[in-house]
Structure 1
């Protein structure tokens, strides 16, 4: 097992994607710190690992604060002697369209996703650097952070911000031999089960049935376990050369996302005045403007969501 002797912290790992990541890390030989805000959920997650012969312990605390980040690193060291891997998975949703989104809705999501990632990564990197450990950091992004999505101003900002931090951290951590990457999961979870587009896939997953091939291949949508392998791989020594990357996983598809690049360059002697932009912008760049939001293939008739009866 390639992660034998390694110790991981996975935030938000009491259930769903986080638990799948933790269980896969244990399957590959690691011991793991489970984190959740609910004691019963955390205990059940730990039991699912220890009853199968793995090593796990729990920290029940909300991520976001420096205190929780310190508690998580300390728990890894106290329980298992070290820390090698951090997966920042914890997250919440407070979806509202812009005019309906309150300060509290915005701040809550930013605190858990963005601040929680920042504080946990800062604490883990400090430990890695001090102890000369070539640690592995895997942050969790979202297609929303890459493309935008209606009603998710807070979530989009947080997930895009995580990717921005990762690109910066990859530069800062290189000399220490620590890698940091973002995984973008596309899977049946509590966060996607209410999306009508995925209804048939989510229903199949809930029944323990195989998802229709269209979802797995054409849409790259699958189960939590489909994403967990990538998380464990990025935590391994085999991924020592991979850092600063954004990698999507779902169903039967893996995606390597590009970093933002200019799609076209225009030049104008003396710079672009208002009048010059009037003359040139739409004429030369109008057909190159970038799309927003995710673009999905059309669902076959038999896989379309059932409309509620009126």
Structure 2
């Protein structure tokens, strides 16, 4: 019960990963404020947590605005007396290739993922700082934000931006004793169910069978519950001193992502003008080209998706 007497807000908690986080935090003794736009899903989620002895309330609202962010903080304080943590999980997809992506497609995803994370974290931090709370903020990123993915300009921008904010906030929140981290989940969710590469893993989950070891270990791909442990841990007092980190979790795998670092450095007296770049710089760049996008190992024959 490492989260006993702690109060945590989880956005996008009506189903999927967000609900798994809320359930695990409640299982560890925390009281949870669940947020989503789906009233029915929230009612069911809150009911399940309460049936298992947890304390939970629901706030139906779309994240993004400062008003919603403050509403969530106020709900935690009104219902449970204080606030100790925040998990910014809410998100939507509007996947389209670059030239087909409209302004509305881009703005909608940025508003929920990036602005929603910003406004909720700001409201939570303001409460922490004003009340002397050494709080916890866990922001949810994505492999797409780390490496890019075809058809997800908006989503990649938002998730990369979240990681950038987390690293900045870790500096700004250090003196107040607030820890903020990003989690990069790889799990079976509504967003990954339609990816053919994961078909056999999804089928195993749906039939109540074990996910094949290849997915859990080689790909670090598992269930939402596999990710919930790290989120609860980062919300707890046990995670003191861990801040500004980007942590990947999925299946049997735990990762700590490095901050971007140069892979090579070279110096030229007088700088790198066009002629020098053509004569020396080009070879340096071409010889150290970095990959883009996720690189998956070849699926074993028995795990190939059915056509």
Same fold (TM over 0.5): yes
1:88 aligns with 2:93: no
1:67 aligns with 2:67: yes
**What is the Cα deviation at residue 106 of structure 1?**
0.1
For 2:218 and 2:68, locate their aligned partners in 1 and report how far apart those are by CA, in whole Å: 40
Aligned counterparts, 1:267-278, within 5 A: 267-278=267-278
Any idea what the Cα deviations from partners look like across 1:119-158, whole Å, max 9, x if unmatched?
0000000000000000000000000000000000000000
Mean CA deviation greater in 180-189 or 200-209: 200-209
TM norm structure 2: 0.99
Aligned counterparts, 1:181-200, within 5 A: 181-200=181-200
Any idea what the Cα deviations from partners look like across 1:209-263, whole Å, max 9, x if unmatched?
1100000001000000000000011111111110000000000000100000111
Aligned counterparts, 1:180-219, within 5 A: 180-219=180-219
Q: What residue is the counterpart of 1:174 in the other structure?
A: 174
Q: Which runs of 4+ in 1 moved over 3 A?
A: none
Q: What residue is the counterpart of 1:300 in the other structure?
A: 300
Any idea what the Cα deviations from partners look like across 1:174-211, whole Å, max 9, x if unmatched?
00000000000000000000111001101111222110
Q: Name structure 2 gaps, 5 residues minimum.
A: none
For 1:35 and 1:261, locate their aligned partners in 2 and report how far apart those are by CA, in whole Å: 36
For 1:255, what is the secondary structure of its paired residue? strand
1:98 aligns with 2:98: yes
**What is the Cα deviation at residue 289 of structure 1?**
1.1
For 1:51 and 1:29, locate their aligned partners in 2 and report how far apart those are by CA, in whole Å: 14
For 2:197 and 2:140, locate their aligned partners in 1 and report how far apart those are by CA, in whole Å: 22
What's the Cα RMSD here? Answer: 0.6
For 2:196 and 2:156, locate their aligned partners in 1 and report how far apart those are by CA, in whole Å: 20
**What is the Cα deviation at residue 269 of structure 1?**
1.1
For 2:227 and 2:275, locate their aligned partners in 1 and report how far apart those are by CA, in whole Å: 50
For 2:120 and 2:234, locate their aligned partners in 1 and report how far apart those are by CA, in whole Å: 18
**What is the Cα deviation at residue 74 of structure 1?**
0.4
Mean CA deviation greater in 266-275 or 6-15: 266-275
For 1:92, what is the secondary structure of its paired residue? coil
For 1:38 and 1:195, locate their aligned partners in 2 and report how far apart those are by CA, in whole Å: 25
Any idea what the Cα deviations from partners look like across 1:2-21, whole Å, max 9, x if unmatched?
10000000000000000000
For 2:295 and 2:21, locate their aligned partners in 1 and report how far apart those are by CA, in whole Å: 27
TM norm structure 1: 0.98
Aligned counterparts, 1:129-144, within 5 A: 129-144=129-144
Q: Name structure 1 gaps, 5 residues minimum.
A: none
For 1:60 and 1:48, locate their aligned partners in 2 and report how far apart those are by CA, in whole Å: 17
For 1:182, what is the secondary structure of its paired residue? strand
For 1:288, what is the secondary structure of its paired residue? coil
For 2:27 and 2:247, locate their aligned partners in 1 and report how far apart those are by CA, in whole Å: 22
Any idea what the Cα deviations from partners look like across 1:19-75, whole Å, max 9, x if unmatched?
000000000000000111011111111001011111000000000000000000000
- Kindly tell me the number of residue pairs found equivalent between the two proteins: 307
1:229 aligns with 2:229: yes
For 1:124 and 1:236, locate their aligned partners in 2 and report how far apart those are by CA, in whole Å: 16
For 2:243 and 2:203, locate their aligned partners in 1 and report how far apart those are by CA, in whole Å: 36
